[in-house]
Amino acid sequence: MADFIINTDDNVYVPAEDSYLLADNLQIKEGQSVLEIGTGSGIVAMYASRLTDRITVTDINFDACLLCEKNFKANSIENIEILFGNLFEPVKNRKFDVILFNTPYLPTEDDEVLDDTINYAFDGGLNGRKVIDLFLNEVGNHLNDGGIVQLIQSSLSGNDETLEMLDRLGFIAEIAASEHFFFEDITLINAYKI
């Protein structure tokens, strides 16, 4: 895969290993509708745009919405809809074939919370699951039957909890890929709606 022009912003998550773990393992077929939650710089959506032309991205960080728009233009990508808002709020009554999310998965103590929009990118609450659980509880309402959820999280935020929760919600889920870093594994979980 060729590289993209990526502009960055101090208030937006800079693409890192977790971004590319998702981008390199996308399960998207031509013509499928895709939603990426928390698009940040837009890097994952740009890779997705090579596989389908029906992509919507959301971000709770308005700086991220502006930055991904700049990055899409810099790479002549015109087939991505950008919506500002938290999780599924901007797509209330819509369903998609593929939903992507590089979650804010870091366990974060109160004194580690930053008073800035970049905080949205990593702050997973005390157990790393604050946003993951909200996402999982809603994702089935926005996924077409036979669709797939691909999410990135850390072993620090409870991979087994995510797999068990997805199982309870009627998905078939698996750890599809992982990379080991100093004190954690970054994992890609694929969950299929049956």
Q: At what angle do helices 159-168 and 130-139 cross, to 10 degrees?
A: 20
Read off the tokens for 8. Answer: 């960055």
In DSSP terms, 55 is beta-bridged to 34, 80
Note whether residue 164 is domain-resident: yes
Note whether residue 34 is domain-resident: no
The enclosing domain of 82 has a CATH number of: 3.40.50.150
CA–CA gap between residue 166 and residue 137 (Å, rounded): 9
Note whether residue 99 is domain-resident: yes
Q: How many structural domains compose the chain?
A: 1
142-178: pLDDT as tens digits: 999 999 999 999 888 999 999 999 999 999 999 999 9
101-111: pLDDT as tens digits: 999 766 667 77
> Please, which pLDDT band fits residue 1 given cuts at 50, 70 and 90?
very low
Note whether residue 33 is domain-resident: no
Note whether residue 30 is domain-resident: no
Domain that includes residue 72, residue range: 40-193
Note whether residue 151 is domain-resident: yes
